[in-house]
A and B are shown apart, each in its own frame.
Chain A
Amino acid sequence: MIEGSAIPAAGGRRHRWAKAMKNGRLGLLFLLPALCIFAMFQWYTIFYGLILGFQKMITGLGATWVGLANFKSVLSDSLVALSFRNTLVFVGLCLVFGYMVPVVVAIALTELRHARGFFRLAIYMPNIIPGIALYIMWLWIFDPAVGLLNQILGLFHLPPQEWLLNTKTALFSLMLMATWAGFGSTALFYMASLTSVPEELYEAAEIDGAGIWRRIFHITLPSLKTTMLIMLLLQILATVQVFQEPFVMTGGGPNNATLTIMYQVYRYAFVYFEFGKAGALGFLTFLFLFVLSLLYMRYSKIAHGGEEV
């Protein structure tokens, strides 16, 4: 079914190509709508995003090339520096507090003999709730006066916190919400890859007298290694792009304490209408994420046994 497989080499390159085109006319026809739509809304959009940073762009008036001017002014903007710092802190917090949670939960839930389906549903539940609905709920959970979190702190005789309203705790609060909402789906991934651990390994380890902990550390965790690596990259990819949570919950505040890179891109574009600068900052972030994505490709390929897409 692959083109050119049955065509003798004698025809030469051009002949072969012409024949492939002729044979593939119907196939191309079926692909045509997708090709047109992808050309405009994927390939051209991505390309446009890459060159946008090198232009001065005013909607309605068109664009002029300005070289690296946007990059220079973006990199010397103190708010950009702050947004980088905040984003890095957020990514770090999510890794420290959130990265191991799904692994531990997945291993523990897989061991359960009863009601595994119920627990799986319970941890996945926040993923079903739409983002905005979730934020409304957490707005009241965080509320300093009547919120659930301060009620819980009160149970342990801890002083109430201001959560989103304090520059010191705002990012931490967003991390708490994001982790609560997001760890369930990751845990499900881990649970899925745990089902593929060969039973014989556990059998053999048990016969050799290895205890539960040794089985977990020498069989369970190593077999999760690739998934964990992929999840690490995916989590960094997702958290570097954090935007909607601070946009809705804090508006970047208080005092820009939750201003993230993507939020700054948004502000450049839709508050100051500096599309070129937005493009430049987006470009820099994109470059960073792209390198991470390439790593992800490599490892996911290894994870799928070197199988091609």
Chain B
Amino acid sequence: MAKTVGRTAISNFDLKRPEVKAGYLACSIMAVVLAVFMIYPLIWTFMGALKTPKEVYLIPPRLLPERANWANFITAWKAFSFPRFTLNTFLLFAGIVLFKFPITCMAAYAFSFLRVPARRALFLAFMVTLMVPGMAYMIPSYLILYRLPIFGLNLLNTYWAFWLPAGADAFAILLLKGYFDGIPGEMLEAARIDGATEMIILSRLVLPLAKPILATLFILNFMGVWRDFMWPYIVLRDSSRWTIMIALYTYVFQSQILTPNIQLAGMMLATIPPITIFLLFQRYILEGITFAGIKG
């Protein structure tokens, strides 16, 4: 996954000195304490999800439940209507992929391999949107979706409010272009001589070569859609269109009808997909993180 670090401030020779050894030990202990600090709350939460409501409110509190109530997860699965809202979330994601990938791939291809007038200025006009803080979009986007200019449509409360703008993703264009630039131009020239059109070169030659970056984008976007809350909450008011996060928020924070163990079980269920995907595709995701800091 990562480059192996060569030597660092402490050398192997240093480690033979007792005072450095003590320092290294302190360092290790700190790391362990840190890990406990990060992981213990997760274990505590998981145990909470396995308790009965009575055990959650037990004083003095106990970490382990008398016996693991796995049925809590089934209750949460039903109480939060997981099947319906998960399906909604997948539907939302599928449309976003369908709109985002063709548009950004074509744009990145144009910037990497085709002649474009005022290329630098245009590219800058795309990239400058990365500098705009996310909060600047909330109000104007809402009003634009309320009455789409030129067309006069109201897209609020529909998935089109997410699908249509999906292609306006400068981060994806940047990532793709960065990858495309590494593909040798001679390969494309050879294909052109053989009479391939640019569209065929893009779909048959460039995209297969760019699979790793496409996978990274795909995964990052899925994680993004799965965890996104604020904007979907503002746009999708109708409960039939809610995503899983809107449902979690509404059932836990707005109507306190569920007992804490069920709330925590629901929280755990909603965390399983991103954790699974992360553990499976760590390499792809960490590649993308390096860029993720760009957008504030």
Q: Specify which of B40, B107, B119, B286 is in contact with A3 (CB 8 Å cutoff).
A: B119
Within 8 A of A (CB), among B239-261: 245, 248-249, 252-253, 260
| Distance A52 CA – B137 CA, assembled complex (angstroms) | 12
Are B129 and A42 neighbours in the complex by a CB distance under 8 Å? yes
Within 8 A of B (CB), among A186-230: 188-189, 192, 194-195, 197, 199, 202-203, 206, 212, 215-216, 219-220, 230
Asked, given contacts A45-B141, A49-B136, whether A23 binds B267 with beta carbons under 8 Å apart, the answer is no
Closest to B127 in A: A309
| Distance A41 CA – B191 CA, assembled complex (angstroms) | 35
Asked, given contacts A130-B227, A212-B23, whether A33 binds B144 with beta carbons under 8 Å apart, the answer is no
Q: Specify which of B23, B35, B57 is in contact with A118 (CB 8 Å cutoff).
A: B35
- Interface flags for B58-71 (1: CB within 8 Å of A; 0: not) read 11010000000000
Closest to A189 in B: B293
Are B131 and A1 neighbours in the complex by a CB distance under 8 Å? no
Q: Specify which of A38, A192, A269, A293 is in contact with B142 (CB 8 Å cutoff).
A: A269
**Minimum distance in angstroms from A109 CB to a CB of chain B:** 6
| A24 located at the interface, meaning its Cβ lies under 8 Å from any Cβ of chain B in the complex | yes
Within 8 A of B (CB), among A148-190: 148, 151, 180, 184-185, 188-189
Are A279 and B132 neighbours in the complex by a CB distance under 8 Å? no
- Interface flags for B264-276 (1: CB within 8 Å of A; 0: not) read 1011101100110
- Please give, as numbers and ranges, the residues of chain A lying within 8 Å of B2 by CB-CB distance: 117, 120, 195
- Please give, as numbers and ranges, the residues of chain A lying within 8 Å of B127 by CB-CB distance: 309
Q: Specify which of B24, B102, B143, B168 is in contact with A275 (CB 8 Å cutoff).
A: B143
- Please give, as numbers and ranges, the residues of chain A lying within 8 Å of B185 by CB-CB distance: 1
**Minimum distance in angstroms from B108 CB to a CB of chain A:** 9
| B27 located at the interface, meaning its Cβ lies under 8 Å from any Cβ of chain A in the complex | yes
Are A41 and B164 neighbours in the complex by a CB distance under 8 Å? yes
| A131 located at the interface, meaning its Cβ lies under 8 Å from any Cβ of chain B in the complex | yes
Query: Which of B3-11, B90-98, B210-218 lies on the face that meets chain A?
Result: B3-11
- Please give, as numbers and ranges, the residues of chain B lying within 8 Å of A21 by CB-CB distance: 117
> Chain B binding site: helix, strand, loop or mixed by DSSP?
helix
- Please give, as numbers and ranges, the residues of chain A lying within 8 Å of B146 by CB-CB distance: 59
| Distance A31 CA – B177 CA, assembled complex (angstroms) | 13
Closest to B13 in A: A206
Closest to A147 in B: B61
Are A45 and B137 neighbours in the complex by a CB distance under 8 Å? yes
| A9 located at the interface, meaning its Cβ lies under 8 Å from any Cβ of chain B in the complex | no
Q: Specify which of B7, B109, B147, B245 is in contact with A131 (CB 8 Å cutoff).
A: B245
**Minimum distance in angstroms from A250 CB to a CB of chain B:** 10
Are B167 and A37 neighbours in the complex by a CB distance under 8 Å? yes
| Distance A37 CA – B1 CA, assembled complex (angstroms) | 36
Asked, given contacts A31-B122, A44-B144, whether A136 binds B263 with beta carbons under 8 Å apart, the answer is yes
Are B133 and A237 neighbours in the complex by a CB distance under 8 Å? yes
Closest to B234 in A: A270
Are B267 and A128 neighbours in the complex by a CB distance under 8 Å? no
Asked, given contacts A3-B115, A148-B44, whether A41 binds B141 with beta carbons under 8 Å apart, the answer is yes
Within 8 A of B (CB), among A267-309: 269-270, 275, 278-279, 282, 285-286, 289-290, 293, 296-297, 309
Q: Specify which of A105, A189, A202, A265 is in contact with B135 (CB 8 Å cutoff).
A: A265
Are A59 and B61 neighbours in the complex by a CB distance under 8 Å? no
Are B135 and A137 neighbours in the complex by a CB distance under 8 Å? no
- Please give, as numbers and ranges, the residues of chain A lying within 8 Å of B106 by CB-CB distance: 30-31, 33-34
Are A282 and B114 neighbours in the complex by a CB distance under 8 Å? no
**Minimum distance in angstroms from B40 CB to a CB of chain A:** 8
Are A37 and B42 neighbours in the complex by a CB distance under 8 Å? no
| A132 located at the interface, meaning its Cβ lies under 8 Å from any Cβ of chain B in the complex | yes
Q: Specify which of A57, A120, A238 is in contact with B296 (CB 8 Å cutoff).
A: A238
Q: Specify which of B37, B110, B118, B271 is in contact with A133 (CB 8 Å cutoff).
A: B271
Are B107 and A111 neighbours in the complex by a CB distance under 8 Å? no
Q: Specify which of B11, B14, B149, B226 is in contact with A44 (CB 8 Å cutoff).
A: B149
Are B38 and A123 neighbours in the complex by a CB distance under 8 Å? yes
Are B124 and A309 neighbours in the complex by a CB distance under 8 Å? yes
**Minimum distance in angstroms from A307 CB to a CB of chain B:** 12
| A66 located at the interface, meaning its Cβ lies under 8 Å from any Cβ of chain B in the complex | no
| B209 located at the interface, meaning its Cβ lies under 8 Å from any Cβ of chain A in the complex | no
Are B132 and A130 neighbours in the complex by a CB distance under 8 Å? no
**Minimum distance in angstroms from B148 CB to a CB of chain A:** 8
- Please give, as numbers and ranges, the residues of chain A lying within 8 Å of B296 by CB-CB distance: 234, 237-238, 241, 289, 293
**Minimum distance in angstroms from B165 CB to a CB of chain A:** 4
Are B61 and A199 neighbours in the complex by a CB distance under 8 Å? no
- Please give, as numbers and ranges, the residues of chain B lying within 8 Å of A189 by CB-CB distance: 289-290, 293
Can you offer 10 A-B residue contacts whose CB atoms are under 8 A? A23-B115, A33-B102, A38-B168, A59-B146, A111-B8, A116-B5, A119-B34, A195-B2, A279-B139, A309-B124
Those 7 A-B pairs whose CB atoms lie nearest each other, nearest first = A130-B227, A27-B114, A237-B296, A27-B116, A34-B107, A30-B110, A41-B165
Residue ranges of B at the interface with A (Cβ–Cβ < 8 Å): 1-3, 5-11, 13-14, 20, 23-24, 27-28, 30-31, 34-35, 37-42, 44-45, 48, 56-59, 61, 102-104, 106-107, 109-111, 113-119, 122-127, 129, 131-144, 146-149, 164-165, 167-168, 170, 173, 185, 198, 223, 226-227, 229-230, 234, 245, 248-249, 252-253, 260, 263-264, 266-268, 270-271, 274-275, 278, 286, 289-290, 292-293, 296
